[in-house]
Structures are given as C-alpha cells and as structure tokens.
Amino acid sequence: MEQKKDFGRLARNALILLTMIGLIVYVVYHCLQYFEDPVQTTVAVRQTEQQTLTLEAYLFRDETVLTSSHGGALQSLTADGAHVAIESEVARVYITGDGEELYARLQALNEKIAFYEQCLVAEGFAPAYLNTLDEEIARTQDEIQRAKAAGASVLELSDELLLLLNQRQVMTGEFAELPTLLNTLKEERRALENTYAGTYESITTAQSGYYFRETDGYETLFTNTALEGASFDSFFELIAQQPLATDTHAGKLIGDYIWYAAIPATVTEVQMLTEGADYLLHFADGTAVNMTLDRILTKQGDERCVLIMKTGHMPQGFDYTRIQTVTMEIGTTSGLRVPQTALIVGKDGEMGVYVLDVAYVRYRKIDIVWRGDGYVLVRENDRTKEGHENDLGYQELLITHSDEALYDGQLLY
C-alpha cells in the first residue's frame, strides 16, 4: 500500500515537472518570437557624389612641323617631350645606304604602333560606351557583308572592324598585355633606328620648344589660332576635315604651353557650368588636368554646344592623341543615401520608403536626386517647414526588408 502511494506521488511530481518544462518552453518560444526583429533596417546617412560627363574631346595647340626634303628612315635623337634649344639637331632622316630596307621595316613597325595606340585609347572610354562599341561592330560587319556581295573591296572596313574588336577587348580587360606590347614595339623601333648607316639629312630646330616625334596631320588644322577664332559652325567644319599627309614629317616642336580641349556636348548637359570656372578633366591615358572653361560655342535653335577648355599645364608623358574620350567633373550632388531595396511606390504612385519609428512603421516621401549602383541619393529637406513633415530625415531607420507586407502606422512590436 505504501509502495502504491510512493508511486503515485512520483507520477504526480513527474507530471508537474513535465508541465512546468512545457510551460517554460512555451514562454521562452514566445519571448524569442517577440524579441526577433521582424524587419531589416539601415540608417539614412548623408553622402556626396561627384557629377561627371563623359564626352569626346578634340585637342588644339600650336605646333611647328619639322620636315625633311624627302621621305626616309627617321631616327629621333631627342626624347619625346624634351625641351630643346634653338638650332638643336633633334632627328636624322636617312636617305642612302641601308636606309631603304630599314625604312620598310620601320614603316611596318610605325603602322603597328599607331594601330595599337588607337586600340589603347579605349582604356579611357566610359563603361556605358561598350554598348555603342557593340553597335559599331555590328554595323561594320553588316557593311563588310554588303561590300562583299557587291564585289567591292573590304580592306578598309576590315581594318576598322579589327580596331573596334581590339578596343572592345581593351575595355573588357581581355587585352591587358597591350601596354607591354606597345613598349616592346617602341623599344624595337629605337633599336632599329640605332642601326642606321649611310647618308642622312639632319633635322634642326629654328626655335626652342618641346620636341615630339609623332605627327598626325592635324598640326596645321587644330591650332590655337583656328580655335580662338572659331564660331559654332566653323568649329564643326574644322573637325570634319581630313588630316594632311605626314610622309615628310620629322617630328614637331611645341613652342607655346597653352593648349585647348574642345568638347562637343548638349546645352542640357552643360547648363550648370560657368564660363571662367575651373573643371577637372580625366583623359584617356588616366591623366587628370585642371582646365578653365574659356567659353561655350552655341547656335540659336541647335541643342548642341562646344565647350572650349583651356590650360597652360603640360603634364609629363601625357598622351596628346588628337581625338579622345574625356571624363569631366562638373560638380557634386549631396543627399541621404537610400538602398534600392528600401524604395517603394506610394499610394499616389510617388516614390517613398518605410522607416521604423520606435515600434511603428512610418511612410516617408522622397525626392531622388542621384542614382548609383544599388542605391539612390534623396534630397534632404527641412522637416520643420510646411509640406515637408513627412519627408525622410537624417539618421532615420530605413526598412530594407520585411517578411510581411507593411503599411503606414503598423505596430511591429
């Protein structure tokens, strides 16, 4: 009998213990549910972004072409960009001896170097230009097919296509060895020049200045004088001209350190720019140059315009490729940073966000002033002013994710 009582007591205690454990588990579970954050948030912080324009620039400067009496194998005696005095011998053009064979080899090297330098220009292209490049490749391929069908020569089109394909590889990083290849070719050219022998014509300077070996045929076209006197119409007529022949060129001399970048744009793109102000330009070779907006060429009824940028700075080793892509810093935009995942469409179709206000969900209006990669900047307004009470404020908690639908005024906790 006593054993039965003990067994009953043990059973009763076990039941009570199990009930208490179950109750504790129940309470803990619901506490955890209560304290688990039902949403993900981030703080609305202030951020400033650089505003830029990526456009095509035409470089103008005063250059004196050094010429030989006739073509031949050119040997530079002066480094590119070196300052030379008046009556300095800067180069030699070999006329006789083994110059003919060397000249043929040199011409082939020069053509390779010029081609790869054109390819390398793509390093300065904006990422968005890749789509344009693809369109140009497709257009050129179509033109080649039409020319073949008509029995016409496709040599020039094939060269153009090869350039475009190489530029695309440069943009996508598939031709990373190009700078090394170019340096190797230039070293080969220098070594070849050092083997010249025979009769030569000495090239000397009639004035002091900075010597450059390469010429492009635009030296007498894209001059400071031509640009300074240009109108809107005459500028576009000027850049449409073809470069002159360079067969007898033996380099060029830069006597004036003033040079220009003329940049076609649209009036809308440049409406916030100020004549006389300085702007930083990033060129294709990565060089950044501070230039002054000298003037803007416009024409009534035409959306186009031309920015005339001026500087007296000649960066060492700068690539003066006549036509190249530049990125121009034109100002800054500031606002509150909002992740793309926080954006919602409000009841009236306007863009907005939800924020966490203690335990409540609140709707906030926003005005997007900048779009970045995965985020936007929104205008920070004074919320004490009438009509802005419900605008997003600095350091508010933006809701970036929720497992359930949210609404303004919802109690989360």
Q: How many domains does the chain have?
A: 3
pLDDT reported for residue 265:
95
Q: Is residue 61, in this structure, part of any structural domain at all?
A: no
Dist. CA 281–CA 293, nearest whole Å: 11
Copy the structure tokens of residue 22. 């179950």
* Confidence at 356, pLDDT banded by 50, 70, 90: very high
Per-residue pLDDT, averaged over 274-291, amounts to 92
- Coil, helix or strand at residue 195: coil
pLDDT reported for residue 32:
45
On whether both 108 and 15 belong to a single domain, the answer is no
Which of 92, 96, 65 lies closest to 78, judged by CA?
A: 92
On whether both 14 and 44 belong to a single domain, the answer is no
Q: Is residue 175, in this structure, part of any structural domain at all?
A: yes
| Residue whose entry in the numeric block shows the structure tokens 């209560």 | 34
Of 163, 198, 233, the residue that ends a domain is 198
Domain coverage including residue 360? 39-48+334-402
Are 392 and 331 in contact, with CB atoms under 8 Å apart?
A: no
Dist. CA 35–CA 384, nearest whole Å: 34
Helix axes 155-172, 129-149, angle to 10 degrees: 160
Q: How many residues make up the chain in this entry? A: 413
pTM, entire model: 0.61
On whether both 23 and 100 belong to a single domain, the answer is no
In 95-216, which ranges are E strands?
200-204, 209-212
Q: What's the pLDDT tens digit per position in 8-53?
A: 666 666 677 777 776 776 655 555 444 556 889 999 999 998 888 9
Average pLDDT, the chain: 86
On whether both 104 and 194 belong to a single domain, the answer is yes
Dist. CA 283–CA 74, nearest whole Å: 29
Q: Is residue 114, in this structure, part of any structural domain at all?
A: yes
Dist. CA 175–CA 173, nearest whole Å: 5
Copy the structure tokens of residue 132. 């344009």
Q: Is residue 74, in this structure, part of any structural domain at all?
A: no
Are 323 and 56 in contact, with CB atoms under 8 Å apart?
A: yes
- Asked if the model's pLDDT at residue 238 lies above 90, the reply is yes
| More confident of the two residues 181 and 105 | 181
DSSP state of 341: G
In single-letter form, the type of residue at position 346 comes to G
pLDDT reported for residue 362:
93
Residue 64: CB atoms within 10 Å: 17
- Asked if the model's pLDDT at residue 4 lies above 60, the reply is no
Residue 385 sits in a domain of what CATH number?
A: 2.40.420.20
Q: Is residue 409, in this structure, part of any structural domain at all?
A: no
Residue 175: CB atoms within 10 Å: 20
- Asked if the model's pLDDT at residue 378 lies above 80, the reply is yes
Q: Is residue 270, in this structure, part of any structural domain at all?
A: no
Q: Is residue 176, in this structure, part of any structural domain at all?
A: yes
Q: What's the pLDDT tens digit per position in 136-183?
A: 899 999 988 888 888 888 888 888 899 899 989 988 889 888 888 988
Copy the structure tokens of residue 80. 């590119």
On whether both 193 and 100 belong to a single domain, the answer is yes
Q: What's the pLDDT tens digit per position in 194-212?
A: 777 677 888 999 999 999 9
Q: What's the pLDDT tens digit per position in 294-339?
A: 999 999 999 999 999 999 998 887 888 899 989 999 888 899 999 9
Which of 67, 77, 66, 71 lies closest to 100, judged by CA?
A: 71
Dist. CA 162–CA 165, nearest whole Å: 5
